[in-house]
């Protein structure tokens, strides 16, 4: 079984929105590697406590780290930025890690950004499971479960259930003459589970990844000045490149 932890960055509004892009990033690990990955993450968090003063119970929320740190203002801004970079680098060093991301350009859509981005992400998860392209095991029968940060649970539940029955996917024009096929999801099991990122070290890492990806597309002044708009590229060793035919980092742009 593969576990996919998902978080987002940006908003889904298409009218008077401060962001152009809505981003979903996912961290995928196999169940057989979950305990050792968690232990590594706990060791990493203890390192941040000892070197940066970030307590184990304090949440890493990337956008707040930079612009609205609240009580974490006690940690200098450049140290907070370094924490984000260290989160990315910890991820890139995990030899059992898989990262996939979807970037939705809201200028291309008038509505339905949330559903569309999630549908694309779930389809990429399904396809990669089906083709055995995740790092983990060689078990051809492996399935996957999705664990999302607290978001619109009812909407996600309806979407996942619909895709198990009806999931039209446009045909590749170079192979088929237009049209679409119903590729119902068969490798994703159960409804999407919801978890509060404040209690999940995994989701806090994914939050950083999603934030760094959006900064690649629309960086704020501080991140651009400090090179934070290039942090996502540091994930290169664990990016699943096969999720995109066109992007060198495997980013699915829609």
Q: For 67-91, write each residue's pLDDT tens digit.
A: 999 999 999 999 999 999 999 999 9
First-to-last alpha carbon distance for the chain, in angstroms, is: 28
Residues 124 and 168: their CA atoms lie apart, in Å, by 14
The reported pLDDT for the residue numbered 171 is 60
38 near 201, Cβ under 8 Å?
A: yes
Mean pLDDT of 214-235: 97
CA atoms within 13 A on the CB side of 95: 0
Other C-beta atoms closer than 10 Å to the C-beta of 123 total: 19
The reported pLDDT for the residue numbered 137 is 77
Write phi, then psi, for 247 (nearest 5 degrees): -100, 130
Label residue 5 by pLDDT band (50, 70, 90): very high
pLDDT tens figures, 134-169: 988 778 889 999 999 988 888 999 999 999 998 777
pLDDT tens figures, 31-53: 999 999 999 999 999 999 999 99
Residues 118 and 114: their CA atoms lie apart, in Å, by 6
Label residue 63 by pLDDT band (50, 70, 90): very high
**Domains present along the chain, CATH in parentheses:** 2-253 (3.30.420.10)
Is the pLDDT confidence value at 175 over 70? no
Label residue 109 by pLDDT band (50, 70, 90): confident
The reported pLDDT for the residue numbered 139 is 83
Mean pLDDT of all residues belonging to the chain: 93
Element holding 214 (H helix, E strand):
helix 201-217
Mean pLDDT of 188-205: 95
Is the pLDDT confidence value at 180 over 70? no
């Amino acid at each position: 079984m593969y576990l996919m932890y998902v978080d987002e960055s940006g908003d889904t509004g298409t009218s008077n929105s401060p962001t152009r892009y809505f981003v979903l990033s996912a961290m995928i690990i196999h169940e057989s590697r979950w305990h050792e990955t968690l232990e590594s993450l706990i060791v990493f968090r203890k390192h941040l406590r000892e070197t940066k003063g970030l307590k184990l119970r304090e949440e890493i929320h990337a956008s707040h780290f930079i612009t609205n740190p609240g009580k974490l203002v006690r940690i200098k801004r450049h140290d907070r930025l370094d924490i984000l970079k260290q989160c990315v680098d910890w991820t890139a060093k995990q030899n059992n890690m898989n990262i996939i991301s979807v970037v939705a350009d809201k200028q291309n859509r008038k509505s339905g950004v949330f559903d569309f981005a999630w549908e694309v992400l779930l389809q990429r998860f399904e396809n990669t499971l089906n083709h055995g392209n995740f790092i983990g095991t060689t078990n051809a029968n492996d399935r996957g479960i999705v664990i999302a940060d607290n978001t619109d649970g009812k909407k996600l539940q309806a979407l996942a259930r619909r895709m198990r029955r009806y999931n039209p996917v446009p045909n590749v024009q170079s192979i088929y003459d237009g049209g679409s096929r119903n590729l119902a999801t068969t490798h994703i099991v159960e409804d999407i589970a919801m978890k509060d990122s404040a209690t999940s070290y995994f989701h806090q890492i994914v939050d950083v990844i999603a934030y760094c990806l959006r900064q690649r597309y629309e960086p704020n002044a501080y991140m651009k000045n400090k090179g934070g708009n290039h942090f996502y590229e540091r994930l290169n060793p664990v990016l699943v490149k096969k999720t995109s035919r066109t992007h060198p980092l495997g980013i699915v742009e829609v």
